[in-house]
Homo-oligomer: A and B are copies of this chain.
Amino acid sequence: MGTDGTSRIDPAIGRRLRGLREARGLSLSELARRAGVGKATVSGLEHGTRNPTLETMYAIAAALSVPMSALTLDPGAPAGAASPVRGTAVLSTLLEVFRDPGATYEMFRLRILPGVEQASPAHPPGVTEHLSVVGGTIRTGPAAAPLTAGPGEHVSWAADVPHVYAALGGEEAHAILLIRTPHDRQGAAGAAGSAGEQAAQA
């Protein structure tokens, strides 16, 4: 964008928009009218030749009665397509980071794919993990002594040893994970998963 001059927005957004529009039997003109935006805007967007503002996206998403994330293709929407198997068993999304004088908390949403065991190396001493199962069955905890938990159950452990995550029963499992990192040392800030979404750490 800034320097290269060849910025082009993800063409998948345009394809998805066109799909949603046609699924509703709307013409481009009609969608533009309902959304209160110009036809040129919708056309350019569907062709991926525009970099829309948030306001434009809101207007169009509202006219289509979909959440904006249906257009932006955030992670999270299975929506078929795209092979879900990516070589890592745990797809995590960072929800929040809380930084306090005493500790940093990171709150993740985990999607654990079945049939694979995801190992995680030891964190620094003092780090604890707190996992609450919300769907499926998860075997997790220290690699030496993992525990099995089902929906509604909660597992905590000291994460200064290698630990594992695995979904049992052939089903994908879901969980909320809270990682607490005390600040007794010079804390590395939110260095976790700087690559963006769907980092497979934890």
Contact = CB atoms under 8 A, between A and B. Distances in A.
Given A23-B98, A74-B69, A96-B178, A135 B135 contact: yes
A132 B72 contact: no
Contact of A55 (B1, B26, B152, B153): B1
Contacts of A72: 54, 68-69, 72
B67 A76 contact: yes
A105 B38 CA distance: 29
A66 interface: yes
A54 B52 contact: yes
A54 B54 contact: yes
A24 interface: yes
B103 A98 contact: yes
- Chain A, interface residues (CB within 8 Å), range: 35 or more
A2 interface: yes
A166 to B, nearest CB: 18
Given A20-B97, A54-B54, A97-B23, A105 B105 contact: yes
A76 to B, nearest CB: 4
A28 interface: no
Contacts of A96: 20, 23, 130, 154, 156, 178
A38 to B, nearest CB: 8
B100 A101 contact: yes
A199 interface: yes
Given A99-B23, A154-B95, A135 B134 contact: yes
